[in-house]
Amino acid sequence: MAPARNLIWIGAAGVAATKQDARMAESLKAVIIIFTISLGGFVYARAAFGEIVDGRTIDRWRNVFLAATLAAFLIPNFWLFLFAVGLIAIALGASEKNKPALYLVLLFALPVADAIVPGFGGIQNFLALFPFNILAIVILWPMLFARQENRELHPIGSIADYFFIAYSLLMLALAFRDTTVTDGFRQSTAFILTTIGPYLVFSRINWTKERLKATTLAFVLPLIIMSAIALVEVVLRWHPYKSAIDHWDIAERVRYTFRSGYLRAFTSVFAPISFGLFLAAAVPLAMALISSMQRKMLAIGGLAALGVGLLATFSRGPWIGAALAVVAFVFTSDRPFKNLTRLGLIGTAGFLALSVTPIGDQIIGLLPFVGDSSTSSIDYREQLMDIGWSVAMETRWFGSEDFMSHPAMQQLVQGQGIIDIVNSYLRVTLESGLVGLFLFVGVSFFSALSAWRAIGAARAADPEFAVYGQAWLAALASTLLVIATTSSVVAQVAEVHWLLCGMCVGFARSAEALRLAAPATAPANIPPEPPPPPRAAAPKPSIAAHSLPPHLRQYADREK
């Protein structure tokens, strides 16, 4: 009997070792592919966007991005990985003066995974931490306590600030509703880490044109790299970033999902719609970068890469969001109707060109209102809206803590045993009622309104500066549309939403400062005062010859 047990034990150990070896081989393959593509992306950025930022800045971004990527794949413990990320951001980012840009470079570089912080002092399961929470702590939070150029409450964008403060106070108060004090602190801490840093920092920076251009590139460049990785995912039918979290021994929510036979890419985000949301927001930002460059061809390749990444998600909501972003960017330009007409012609030509490609029919088949693909997800969203709204109206003013356990909501349980609230506005209403929804929408609306009003003043002072305001406003408009198709608690969706709101407010304040600093010019309808006529030379006094001595009379006669 003992030999048989030994054989079983040896066989099990051999199987475990084989699985471990296979996992290590897959992880090595993943890190090589991601590292190579990322390195190539920064080499491309040096050549394509050298007019936006200098090569040394791109090199710093490259070093911190690649170091964080290697840490994700090579450190086997999740908590050690988070600690390493903090050290990398502090040490390698110490020479980076544009801290918001550093935050954006790393925001999408790290796999979206979380684990519960072990309890202390009798408190169990204190908080779920994500890598981007660490970035907020070590990069953004120190800026809140440092001296900022626009730190005071400025009249420009103040309405958005008031709505943000009211919404934050409401959510912090509701965190302690119908729950324990420990859970209240857990929820309020999670809200603070997610919301406060991105909005307050980005809304209070003095956005000079050079700083704004660099920050725009810091948002776009990592997503260009992720778009290339997304193409690899579709071709290989494999998610390489999953290998990074397999050895952390934490709960994972990574699922392989397909549409029309293609794997839906999501890279480090682990959610196709959320990944598409970020790409859709990056499209107008890339257009702004291209518009301010003299050598555009290489940069256009980056915009094309974002388009490929969007297609690789096979997510209709982000496709519509990207289209809205482009229209919003063009509509706020100085010649909107001419540019919209040109955009319509380009869009028609692109649609016709796509229809003749090998996968054109499949892509068109996925388009909403045009294609004939499966409508199961659309049916679920309609059912979610009907049931969810009726449940929300039972506690309409301030929502409910336990809305998920409502009997009507159990009709929405999917095959994975979960209820997927794929509508951020509905989720806000369920959690905080109509009051919370009003404040949440108010922050977004007045942030966008402040940026829209500031574009004209910025264009009068510096047209190039105004283009970037158009782009960030378009990115916010796209995000506000796409979050109606996904949950704001997924991945970095909440962080991106709040930093976009903050950026629009910060742009509006900086545009006003730029307008006030511009030299005053005389009105065009008042002609300049003509110069005074030249003064005639005074006549020389005549000299009477007879009054002179005899020896000087000859000179007086010559003057006559």
Report d(CA 446, CA 426) in Å as an integer.
20
Has residue 72 got a pLDDT over 70?
A: yes
The pLDDT value recorded for residue 280 is 98
- Bridge pairing between strands 258-259 and 128-129: unpaired
Q: Taking residues 461-478, report their average pLDDT.
A: 97
pTM to 2 decimal places? 0.88
Query: Which among 262, 219, 279, 270 is positioned nearest to 240, based on CA atoms?
Result: 270
Chain segment 125-182, per-residue pLDDT in tens:
678 899 999 999 999 999 988 765 555 546 777 899 999 999 999 999 999 988 888 8
Max Cα–Cα distance, the chain, nearest Å: 158
DSSP letter for each residue of 26-48: HHHHHHHHHHHHHHHHHHHHHHH
Model confidence at 359, in pLDDT bands (50, 70, 90)? low
Which are the contacts of 120, defined by CB distance < 8 A and separation ≥ 6? 126
| pLDDT mean over 283-307 | 95
Cα angle for residues 441, 113, 28 (degrees, 5° grid): 140
Could you say which DSSP state residue 155 is in? S
More confidently predicted of 18 and 435: 435
pLDDT digits (tens, 9 = 90+) for 444-460: 999 999 999 999 999 99
- Predicted local distance difference test score (pLDDT) of residue 319: 94
How would residue 430 be classed by pLDDT, with cut points 50, 70 and 90? very high
Provide the pLDDT confidence category of residue 507 given band limits of 50, 70 and 90: very high
Indicate the pLDDT class of residue 224, thresholds 50, 70 and 90. very high
- Mean of pLDDT values over 199-216: 95
Q: Report residue 203 as tokens.
A: 């809304």
For residues 341 and 468, the model is more confident at 468
- The answer to which of 99-103, 134-138, 212-216, 510-514 has the lowest mean pLDDT is 510-514
In three-state secondary structure terms, 294 is: coil
Residue 522: per-residue pLDDT: 40
As a whole number, mean pLDDT of residues 83-101 equals 94
What is the residue-wise DSSP string for 361-374?
HHHHHHSTTT----
| Whether the predicted pLDDT of 89 surpasses 80 | yes
Instruction: Considering only residues 157 and 426, tell me which one the structure prediction assigns the higher pLDDT.
Output: 426
Q: What is the pLDDT of residues 365-376, one digit of tens each?
A: 766 655 555 567
- Residues whose CB falls within 8 Å of the CB of residue 176, separated by 6 or more in sequence, listed in order: 184, 188
